């Protein structure tokens, strides 16, 4: 053995040996129960962050442990196309070139993003390999593989047949800049100080942060318990506006906070979630005044064409001039919803595709809720279970359409009967960007085939007739649905598509999977959807156990952020301390699913531990060489001394306790047991006794037996150094450590 352990010269060599030996691919054996785990698919064009490293460390630990126990063990790898996030990233690249998505047809933009992702996809794959992940690369899956797209389309068609999906106008979180819808759980929120405008509304003064939406007001609301305004409820009031006078009904509704402003609010059902819900209850008209491009429309009169910020500024100025502004609170603190790119969300009522999640006991979500409540799916740590239950109980119909190009296109065709029910965006035959109502565009010279050829996007009215590809008829005109599925709709089927659902051998043998390991923060976004789809399509939950790890925070305890300058690059730690030290440091730093600060001190400590176990191996080989004779392999026939019996007894206890801790997902505790035993019981005590033993054959035989078993116990945690030392040790087997048998309790 070399004098010191050099992780840089070992890690790539060892991983190559594992891959060449095909040790990551299990054999289907129907006499044995398999162990199956899914790698939560990282963004195909992303980079490894500390959360990914922790995830890989824990999952690799589990799969290596089960593989050594003799279970057919499959760890399924893959990457996610990450629809919205990837398109945002690509559009930033276009912006650097002085271009935007509006310069390209839908097909052209998709192909460019595809090339961009393929050029970057290798980076995340190489980082997964560098972490030592023993995933089965022969079963690698990308969420835009053709087989995945077909399965997702089939699922959607089945749900349509079962009346679990529908298309309808509904209040959604829309980003005019990104041009797409977001689900509630995808939004970011930030506290912001904005002006609160107190406007004169007939006999009232009311407060709002959004005076520019006043052209869409269809009522004024008060709280039914507010005695100040009781006499006005049910009456109509005349409100002087900027485009003439309007009559608005005064309604009473519990959503009104009596402590906000004056206790009176304007109701704009088209541009506020609370107002929309109140509008449904009171049957109010929905008057949209902001278009999908984020600009005020013709309902705003002279303000039409202005964006929201410009419109607000001009409306406020004109309200002041007409004496309709009472006063302004310049320091109103409130929470603002942002999209993934950080733009302000615009609540909009637009046609979207929805999954109907809750109708009765046979609904889409109820079986998934029951699965956790009755223990069919067990969540660890147990205290995280309540987050899942609350989310499932509160979950509303799920908007699954995104106005993106990058993703799986919804397989729908709209029949064009009334041309005025369609709004289209396209690049014409001269390369010019055009958009408008289909009927008007056709009247001024655009051709239908030209629009289809250069199509960017289609927006159809709520009641337009739609069919699947196989339902199209000859001599009819059709426009394709250009929306794509929400990423979570496709990745929610990850346990199914990765295993070749519905009829592959892999699916029949490896499904349901054993455990899902992921971060607690996506329990709503991803975990709940996988359980719903799994039960809906197969009748079985997709996994038996869920382990939720905590978020790795920066050294200062704050969330890692480029703006804060506290982001930790795992590659720097790998370069300096090695993969094993980083993996072991993160595992020992995690505290039963709770968030924790990046444990730099532990990473350094386990680099020292790697050196320690390397030196233990060197010392043992040196002593064997000095002894000058063959050392017998350990057997119970050896004449053991008290210290031999004691260390052997302690080894048995460690094996038993490590198994118990791993079965309970207490990874940090299992790691500490091995660390303490190897450093203190074996190195500090027993090896010191061996030095002075006259019966070196017995002492070295016991030492080697203990040491080799310790390497086995440590291998799932620190795979590289243990495999390298194992290859240098005299032993009974020529098998590499990765497929050697796990120590047994006798």
Whether residue 663 is contained in a domain is answered as: yes
> Which of 13-22, 150-159, 520-529 is predicted with the least confidence, judged by mean pLDDT?
520-529
Q: Are residues 205 and 317 in the same domain?
A: yes
Q: Are 239 and 202 in contact (CB under 8 A)?
A: yes
Please check whether residues 319 and 446 belong to one and the same domain.
no
Domain assignment present for 332: yes
Least confident of 370-374, 586-590, 611-615, 678-682: 586-590
Long-range contacts for 722-728 (Cβ within 8 Å, ≥24 apart)?
A: 722/613, 723/14, 723/17, 723/18, 724/5, 724/10, 724/14, 725/1, 725/613, 725/614, 725/617, 728/1, 728/617, 728/621
Asked if residue 628 and residue 734 are part of one domain, the reply reads yes
Query: pLDDT tens for residues 539-577?
Result: 999 999 999 998 888 888 788 776 677 888 889 999 999
Q: Can you give the residue range of the structural domain that contains 218?
A: 188-338
CA distances (Å), 260 to each of 198, 222, 265, 334, 346, in order? 11, 11, 9, 12, 22
Q: Are residues 621 and 722 in the same domain?
A: yes
Torsion of CA 570, 574, 577, 583, to 10 degrees: 70
Whether 192 and 334 share a structural domain: yes
Residues linked to residue 355 through DSSP beta bridges, in sequence order: 165, 398
CA 45 to chain centre: 14
Residues 321 and 208 occupy one common structural domain: yes
Higher pLDDT, 354 or 361: 354
Which residue, among 572, 578, 570, has the nearest Cα to 8 in the 3D structure? Answer: 578
Three-class DSSP category at 79:
strand
Q: Calculate the average pLDDT of the chain.
A: 93
- pLDDT band at 630; cut points 50, 70, 90: confident
Q: Is residue 554 situated within a structural domain?
A: no
CATH of the domain at 621: 1.10.730.10
> Whole-angstrom Cα distance, residue 109 to residue 673?
54
For 123-148, write each residue's pLDDT tens digit.
889 999 999 999 999 999 999 999 99
Determine how many CB atoms are found less than 10 A away from the CB of residue 263.
18
Check whether residue 614 and residue 727 sit in a common domain: yes
pLDDT of 361 higher than 60: no
682: exposed, middle or buried (Cβ count in 10 Å: 0-12, 13-18, 19+): buried
Which CATH number does the domain housing residue 331 bear? 3.90.740.10
Query: Where does 21-82 have alpha helices with state H?
Result: 50-68
618, two tokens: 């060197």
Tell me if 55 is assigned to some domain.
no
pLDDT in tens, 246-295: 999 999 999 999 999 999 999 999 999 999 999 989 999 999 999 888 99
Strand 73-76 to 35-38 pairing: parallel
319, 422: one domain: no
The strand pairing partners of 219, in sequence order, are 249, 267
Neighbours of 243 (CB within 10 A): 12
Cβ pair 61, 717 in contact under 8 A: yes
Distance CA 269, CA 253 (A): 14
| Angle 472-477-482 from CA coordinates, rounded to 5° | 80
What's the pLDDT score for residue 244?
Answer: 87
Total domains in the fold of the chain: 3
Instruction: Report how far residue 419's alpha carbon sits from residue 437's, in angstroms, rounded to the nearest whole number.
Output: 8
DSSP state of 295: B
Domain boundary among 482, 513, 528: 482
Same domain, 292 and 427: no
Q: Does residue 22 form part of some domain?
A: no
pLDDT for res 563: 66
The verdict on 317 and 417 lying in the same domain is: no
Mention every residue, 6+ apart, whose C-beta is less than 8 A from residue 564: 554, 558
728 and 627, same structural domain?
A: yes
C-alpha distances (whole Å) from 144 to each of 112, 117, 163, 354, 482 are 14, 11, 26, 21, 16
State the Cα–Cα distance between residues 730 and 60, nearest whole angstrom. 26
The Cβ-side half-sphere exposure at 91, using a 13 Å CA radius, reads 18
| pLDDT over 60 at 182, yes or no | yes
pLDDT at position 217 is 96
Which pLDDT does position 360 carry in this prediction?
Answer: 64
Token look-up 């990046």 returns 598
Mean pLDDT of 182-202: 90
Residue by residue, DSSP assigns 489-527 as HHHTTHHHHTTTTTT-HHHHHHPSEEEEEEEGGGIIIII
Ramachandran quadrant class, 551 (left: phi over 0; alpha: psi -120 to 50; beta: rest): beta
pLDDT digits (tens, 9 = 90+) for 295-316: 999 999 999 999 999 999 999 9
Q: What is the largest CA-CA distance in the chain?
A: 107
CA atoms within 13 A on the CB side of 5: 28
Closest residue by Cα to residue 220 from 245, 251, 198, 262: 251
Q: Name the pLDDT band for 350 (thresholds 50, 70, 90).
A: confident
Q: Is residue 746 part of a domain?
A: no
Provide mean pLDDT across the span 486-514. 95
CB 729 within 8 A of CB 619: no
154 CB-near residues (< 8 Å, 6+ apart): none
- Rounded Cα distance between 387 and 599, Å, is 27
Alpha-carbon distance of 582 to 571, in angstroms, equals 10
Whether 226 and 263 have beta carbons less than 8 Å apart is answered as yes
Say if 499 falls within a structural domain: no
Nearest to 518 by CA among 501, 531, 534: 531
Residue where one domain finishes, among candidates 302, 317, 338: 338
Question: What DSSP line would sit under 130-194, residue for residue?
Answer: HTT----GGG-EETTSHHHHHHHHHHHHHHHHTT-EEEEEEEEEEETTTTEEE-GGG-EEEEEEE
264 Cβ neighbours under 8 A, 6+ residues apart = 201, 204, 205, 206, 220, 221, 222, 229, 256
How far is the C-alpha of 402 from the C-alpha of 458, rounded, in Å? 12
β partners of residue 439: none
Q: In whole angstroms, what is the distance from residue 498 CA to residue 151 CA?
A: 11
Handedness of CA 390, 393, 394, 400 (dihedral sign): positive
Residue 32 falls inside a structural domain: no
Q: Is the pLDDT score of 362 beyond 80?
A: no
Provide the percentage of residues in the chain whose pLDDT is more than 90: 77
Average pLDDT over residues 447-472: 94
What are the φ/ψ torsions at residue 56 (nearest 5 degrees)? -65, -40
Phi first, then psi, for residue 204 (nearest 5°) are -110, 160
Whether residue 415 sits in one domain with residue 330? no
CA distance 578 to 297: 59
Question: Residue 76's closest CA among 136, 35, 156, 1?
Answer: 136
d(C-alpha 732, C-alpha 718), whole Å:
22
Query: Which of these three, 338, 365, 396, is where a domain ends?
Result: 338
């Amino acid at each position: 053995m070399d004098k010191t352990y050099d992780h840089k010269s070992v890690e790539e060599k060892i991983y190559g040996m594992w891959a060449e030996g095909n040790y990551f691919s299990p054999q289907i054996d129907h006499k044995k129960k398999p162990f199956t785990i899914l790698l939560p698919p990282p963004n195909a064009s992303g980079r490894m962050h500390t959360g990914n490293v922790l995830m890989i460390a824990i999952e690799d630990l589990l799969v290596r442990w089960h593989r050594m126990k003799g279970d057919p063990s499959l760890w399924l790898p893959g990457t996610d196309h990450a629809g919205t996030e990837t398109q945002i990233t690509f559009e930033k690249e276009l912006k650097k070139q002085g271009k935007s998505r509006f310069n390209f047809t839908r097909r052209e933009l998709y192909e460019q993003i595809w090339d961009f992702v393929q050029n970057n996809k290798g980076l995340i794959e190489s980082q997964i390999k560098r972490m030592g992940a023993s995933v089965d690369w022969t079963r690698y899956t990308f969420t835009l593989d053709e087989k995945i797209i077909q399965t997702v389309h089939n699922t959607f068609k089945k749900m349509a047949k079962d009346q679990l999906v529908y298309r309808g106008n509904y209040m959604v979180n829309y980003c005019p800049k990104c041009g797409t819808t977001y689900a509630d759980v995808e939004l970011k929120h930030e506290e912001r100080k904005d002006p609160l405008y107190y406007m004169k509304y007939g006999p009232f003064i009311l407060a709002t942060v959004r005076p520019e939406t006043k052209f869409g007001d269809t009522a004024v609301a008060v709280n039914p318990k507010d005695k100040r305004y009781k006499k006005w409820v049910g009456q109509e009031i005349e409100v002087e506006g900027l485009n003439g006078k309007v009559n608005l009904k005064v309604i009473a509704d519990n959503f009104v906070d009596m402590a906000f402003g004056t206790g009176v609010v304007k109701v704009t059902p088209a541009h506020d979630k609370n107002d929309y819900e109140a509008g449904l209850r009171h049957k109010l008209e929905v008057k949209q005044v902001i278009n999908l491009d984020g600009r005020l429309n013709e309902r705003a009169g002279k303000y039409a064409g202005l964006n929201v910020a410009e419109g607000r500024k001009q409306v406020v100025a004109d309200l002041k001039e007409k004496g309709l502004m009472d006063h302004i609170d310049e320091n109103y603190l409130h929470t603002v919803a942002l999209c993934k790119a950080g733009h302000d969300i615009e609540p909009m009522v637009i046609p979207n595709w929805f999954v109907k999640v809750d109708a009765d006991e046979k609904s889409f979500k109820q079986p998934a809720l029951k699965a956790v409540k009755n223990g069919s799916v067990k969540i660890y740590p147990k205290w995280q279970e309540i987050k899942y239950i609350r989310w499932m109980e509160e979950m509303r119909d799920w908007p699954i359409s995104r106005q993106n190009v990058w993703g799986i296109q919804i397989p729908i065709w709209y029949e064009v009967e009334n041309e005025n029910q369609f709004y289209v965006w396209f690049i014409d035959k001269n390369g010019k960007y055009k958009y408008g109502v289909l009927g008007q565009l056709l009247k001024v010279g655009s051709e239908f085939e030209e629009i289809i050829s250069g199509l960017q996007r289609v927006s159809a009215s709520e009641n337009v007739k739609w069919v699947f590809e196989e339902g199209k008829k000859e001599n009819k005109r059709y426009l394709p649905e250009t929306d794509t599925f929400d990423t979570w709709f496709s990745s929610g089927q990850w346990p199914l598509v990765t295993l070749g659902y519905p009829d592959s051998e892999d699916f029949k043998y490896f499904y349901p999977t054993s455990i899902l390991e992921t971060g607690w923060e996506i329990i709503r976004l991803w975990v709940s959807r996988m359980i719903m789809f799994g039960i809906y399509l197969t009748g079985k939950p997709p996994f038996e156990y869920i382990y939720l790890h905590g978020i790795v925070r920066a050294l200062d305890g704050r969330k890692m952020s480029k703006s804060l300058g506290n982001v930790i690059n795992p590659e720097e730690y790998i370069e300096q301390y090695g993969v094993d030290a980083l993996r072991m440091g993160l595992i020992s730093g995690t505290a039963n699913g709770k968030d924790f600060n990046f444990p730099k001190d532990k990473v350094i400590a386990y680099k020292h531990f790697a050196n320690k176990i390397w030196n233990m191996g060197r010392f043992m080989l040196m002593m064997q060489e000095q002894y000058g004779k063959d050392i017998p392999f350990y057997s119970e026939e050896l004449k053991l001394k008290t210290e031999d019996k004691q260390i052997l007894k302690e080894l048995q206890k460690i094996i038993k306790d490590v198994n118990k801790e791993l079965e309970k997902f207490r990874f940090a505790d299992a790691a500490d047991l091995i660390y303490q035993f190897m450093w203190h019981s074996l190195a500090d005590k027993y090896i010191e006794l061996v030095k002075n033993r006259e019966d070196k054959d017995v002492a070295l035989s016991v030492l080697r037996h203990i040491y080799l078993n310790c390497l086995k116990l440590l291998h799932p945690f620190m795979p590289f150094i243990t495999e390298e030392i194992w290859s240098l040790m005299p032993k009974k087997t020529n098998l590499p450590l990765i497929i050697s048998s796990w120590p047994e309790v006798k």
